[in-house]
Chain A
Amino acid sequence: MQKTGAQILVDSLLAEGVDTIFGYPGGVVLPIYDVLYDSELRHILTRHEQGAAHAADGYARASGKPGVCLATSGPGATNLVTGIANAYMDSVPMVAITGQVATPLLGRDSFQEADITGITLPITKHNFLVKDPKDIARTVREAFYIATSGRPGPVLIDMPKDVSAGMTEHLDPGPVQLPGYRFNKEPNPEQVARAVRAIEESERPVIYAGGGVVSGGAHGELLELAEMLLMPVATTMMGLGGFPGNHPLSVGMLGMHGSKYANYAISECDLLIGVGVRFDDRVTSKLEEFAPGATIMHIDIDPAEIGKNMGVDIPVVGEVRLALRQIIDRLKPRVASQWRDKITVWKKEHPLNFEENGHIKPQEVVREICNVTQSNARITTEVGQHQMFTAQYYTFTKPRTFISSGGLGTMGFGFPAAIGVQVACPDETVIDIAGDGSIQMNIQELATAVNYNLPVKIAIVNNGFLGMVRQWQELFYNRRYSYTELDNPDFVKLAEAYGAVGIRVNKKSELRSALEAALAVNKPVVLDIPVEREENVYPMVAPGEPIHKMLG
């Protein structure tokens, strides 16, 4: 039977198990939107294409399934770019579909033409420009295969209008054949054997767990390995939730704003076991003094990560879940008790803390949210101080419950991502912990949340500053607060104007009841929480310093 390219596209998405896409219509995607008009495929209309990309990203991070977004050519496509780059940096499986001008108009600077495959070359795992309707079904299959297998990442499909409008036979593309695309699932047994020996010989081992544990579903194996040898586990921000934050072996987050005891443990260990990590500069700071005396083991699906930033003694390339399982199966249990005692002492001597006073402290907001939800919510964040406070003071116990922009550090990510999370998890509590700066970068998505009755809660930790930049100006630029103070709108009225609920928390004593009230409403709620204006995120490793030298 002959179908239009657009029909084949939508049918192919359904065949890949897609239930929801996030998008925004426009000229060259009219054939696709005409099919969506009466399709069973659910389409969420955002108010900006960036919102659609982040929503697809949040959906993917919460569900583990690939997120899908759709935009028109030119400005629609370029508006997706930040969202695609964000997904690329955090290895999130995403398929972005863009319309393109008709093939005869390509390359002529036509109306709303942008070379989106060229633009997204460095920020996609792969991308396609489909030039023939016959290629659509195969391209969609390949795109989903590439996005979700190996190290996940975003894939873009650019589809000219005449391709989506053209008619052809819809043939099943069959299994994927990509001779140039391969990845190691199974780790090399010799590497595993070396890893086992190193663990057995070490006296002061530390696990450094990252986003790969969460996306690779290896949290169970990680817990098993840690408990087997009573090894302390430090997680990166992306790894939060990959190991229960309330577990006695957890030393919390490491790195620039990590806990002192995590950074001390890393600095004094004799074996560092990196699992699904990439030795990012926000974690390692001064590389030469990162785990200086330790044997470095690195377990990752992506061979290119081995040795990219840090010299590695024992590489284990493969799926982290399989690699951990094989290590566990060969390992003899043994406990490094002296080491464990040392860490317990550090934990007692250098706890995470802040001074309370009459004002609401941002840390208290996060702690209260954690208490009220009993760690049983999906938390998204924007980027900045509130994000670091959330990483420090919310206890994440389950994977995929902390959803935040790590690698790219995208302000404006958290709220649209929360919309995607709520779509993926309709029965769960979803809270975007936001800053007053970040929230205004995608605040238009309040209309989307209200429109689809997605009861996302936004807690604006409002200090009237771009807080993290202000903190750096305070510490490193002699308190010259250049363009970091914000004159904000009335967030409560703004929420109400969009048809959401707005609540202002005026005093410390109202904080808990306001949070409870917000959670009780089955509607989107904006909580405006004015906090101490010049609170800083501590501990902190100043740029270029080794991670054991911490301020605060």
Chain B
Amino acid sequence: MLHTLTVLVENSPGVLARVAGLFSRRGYNIDSLAVGRTEDPEVSRMTIVVDGDDRVLEQVTKQLHKLVDVIKINDITADEYVDRELVLIKVNADHSQRVEVIQICDVFRARIVDMGRKTLTLECTGNHGKINALEETLRPYGIKELVRTGKIAMVRGTKNTGYQDIGTKEEN
């Protein structure tokens, strides 16, 4: 089963290598990983999607906790949360197809961000399923190039998985 972990880490050099190295050497599978800084410039937040059963997840969490640069881990899989991926797709769209592609774009609330003589470049955000659906819908036209980010996620409502409540040092 896929689990979504949000991991707060010290924004120090090598921290990504430490986390990624831990996953590879212990044989855990990363489905996706997104990282960037948070409201505190000293702290980065990783959103890691991991494939594994409860036992694997328990080990992943405990081993991650042993990394000195890892400040806090939340497994938000069971929570209500908002998650987004971003995709850029360059798709074939000559004169005969352009209208159709633009209609698909509207349906998915994607935006056209660039235009070539025979291609359109779209930008779309959404959850994993929506991005997959857009990709599948556009595939018959011929996708020239595609790039997508890993998933980022945030728990809904007032519950905070950020840096502010670090004083409690709760381990999830």
Q: In the complex, are the beta carbons of A121 and B18 less than 8 A apart?
A: yes
Among the 9-residue stretches B54-62, B85-93, B110-118, B152-160, the one with 4 or more Cβ atoms under 8 Å from chain A is: B54-62
- Is B95 an interface position by the 8 A CB rule? no
Q: In the complex, are the beta carbons of A121 and B17 less than 8 A apart?
A: yes
Of the candidates B9, B13, B68, B70, the one whose C-beta lies within 8 Å of that of A146 is B68
Interface band, chain A: 10 to 19
Q: Write the B39-83 contact mask toward A (1 if CB under 8 angstroms, else 0).
A: 000000000000000010011001101111111100000000000
Q: In the complex, are the beta carbons of A179 and B59 less than 8 A apart?
A: no
Given A121-B18, A180-B71, residue A304 in contact with residue B62 (CB < 8 A)? yes
Residue of B nearest to A178 (CB): B68
Q: In the complex, are the beta carbons of A182 and B21 less than 8 A apart?
A: no
A121, A125, A179, A308: residue with the most chain B Cβ atoms closer than 10 Å = A179
Q: In the complex, are the beta carbons of B14 and A117 less than 8 A apart?
A: yes
Within the complex, the shortest CB–CB distance from B5 to chain A, in Å, comes to 15
Q: In the complex, are the beta carbons of A121 and B21 less than 8 A apart?
A: yes
Alpha-carbon distance between A181 and B69 when the two chains are bound, in angstroms: 8
Alpha-carbon distance between A121 and B68 when the two chains are bound, in angstroms: 12
Alpha-carbon distance between A126 and B67 when the two chains are bound, in angstroms: 7
Q: Write the A118-149 contact mask toward B (1 if CB under 8 angstroms, else 0).
A: 10011001100100000000000000001000
Given A117-B14, A129-B13, A303-B65, residue A180 in contact with residue B70 (CB < 8 A)? yes
Within A149-169, which residues are at the interface with B (CB < 8 Å)? none
Return chain A residues, CB-CB under 8 Å to B72: 180
- Is B123 an interface position by the 8 A CB rule? no
Q: In the complex, are the beta carbons of A304 and B17 less than 8 A apart?
A: no
Of the candidates A121, A146, A304, A306, the one whose C-beta lies within 8 Å of that of B65 is A304
Alpha-carbon distance between A307 and B17 when the two chains are bound, in angstroms: 26
Return chain A residues, CB-CB under 8 Å to B66: 125, 302, 304
Q: In the complex, are the beta carbons of B59 and A308 less than 8 A apart?
A: yes
- Is B10 an interface position by the 8 A CB rule? yes
Within the complex, the shortest CB–CB distance from A128 to chain B, in Å, comes to 9
Given A303-B62, A303-B65, A304-B62, residue A180 in contact with residue B10 (CB < 8 A)? yes
Within B9-53, which residues are at the interface with A (CB < 8 Å)? 9-10, 13-14, 17-18, 21, 25
Of the candidates B14, B59, B166, the one whose C-beta lies within 8 Å of that of A307 is B59
Return chain B residues, CB-CB under 8 Å to A126: 67-68
Return chain B residues, CB-CB under 8 Å to A182: 169
Q: In the complex, are the beta carbons of B59 and A180 less than 8 A apart?
A: no
Alpha-carbon distance between A118 and B13 when the two chains are bound, in angstroms: 11
Return chain B residues, CB-CB under 8 Å to A122: 21, 25
Of the candidates B18, B58, B65, B71, the one whose C-beta lies within 8 Å of that of A179 is B71
Alpha-carbon distance between A129 and B65 when the two chains are bound, in angstroms: 21
Return chain A residues, CB-CB under 8 Å to B71: 179-180
Q: Write the A424-450 contact mask toward B (1 if CB under 8 angstroms, else 0).
A: 000000000000000000000000000
Residue of A nearest to B169 (CB): A182
Return chain B residues, CB-CB under 8 Å to A129: 13-14
Within the complex, the shortest CB–CB distance from A118 to chain B, in Å, comes to 7
Alpha-carbon distance between A179 and B165 when the two chains are bound, in angstroms: 12
Within the complex, the shortest CB–CB distance from A279 to chain B, in Å, comes to 13
Of the candidates B14, B21, B59, the one whose C-beta lies within 8 Å of that of A304 is B59
Residue of B nearest to A308 (CB): B59
Return chain B residues, CB-CB under 8 Å to A125: 66, 68
Within the complex, the shortest CB–CB distance from B23 to chain A, in Å, comes to 12
Alpha-carbon distance between A220 and B17 when the two chains are bound, in angstroms: 42
Given A121-B18, A121-B21, A122-B25, residue A307 in contact with residue B67 (CB < 8 A)? no
Within A253-307, which residues are at the interface with B (CB < 8 Å)? 302-304, 306-307
Q: In the complex, are the beta carbons of B63 and A304 less than 8 A apart?
A: yes
B58, B62, B68, B166: residue with the most chain A Cβ atoms closer than 10 Å = B68
Return chain A residues, CB-CB under 8 Å to B166: 179
Given A121-B18, A180-B9, residue A307 in contact with residue B58 (CB < 8 A)? yes
Alpha-carbon distance between A182 and B58 when the two chains are bound, in angstroms: 17
Return chain B residues, CB-CB under 8 Å to A117: 14
Given A117-B14, A121-B17, residue A307 in contact with residue B63 (CB < 8 A)? no
Q: Write the B1-13 contact mask toward A (1 if CB under 8 angstroms, else 0).
A: 0000000011001
Within A324-368, which residues are at the interface with B (CB < 8 Å)? none
Alpha-carbon distance between A122 and B27 when the two chains are bound, in angstroms: 13
Alpha-carbon distance between A167 and B117 when the two chains are bound, in angstroms: 61
Alpha-carbon distance between A11 and B48 when the two chains are bound, in angstroms: 42
Return chain A residues, CB-CB under 8 Å to B10: 179-180
Return chain B residues, CB-CB under 8 Å to A178: 68
Of the candidates B21, B55, B63, B68, the one whose C-beta lies within 8 Å of that of A180 is B68
Residue of B nearest to A184 (CB): B171
Return chain A residues, CB-CB under 8 Å to B68: 125-126, 146, 178, 180-181
Residue of A nearest to B24 (CB): A122
Return chain A residues, CB-CB under 8 Å to B63: 304
Alpha-carbon distance between A411 and B35 when the two chains are bound, in angstroms: 42
Within the complex, the shortest CB–CB distance from B7 to chain A, in Å, comes to 10
Within the complex, the shortest CB–CB distance from A501 to chain B, in Å, comes to 45
A-B contact pairs, 17 of them (CB 8 A): A118-B14, A121-B17, A122-B21, A125-B66, A126-B67, A129-B13, A129-B14, A146-B68, A178-B68, A179-B10, A180-B68, A180-B71, A181-B68, A304-B59, A306-B62, A307-B58, A308-B59
Q: Which residues of A contact B (CB under 8 A)?
A: 117-118, 121-122, 125-126, 129, 146, 178-182, 302-304, 306-308
Closest 3 CB pairs of A and B: A304-B62, A180-B71, A126-B68
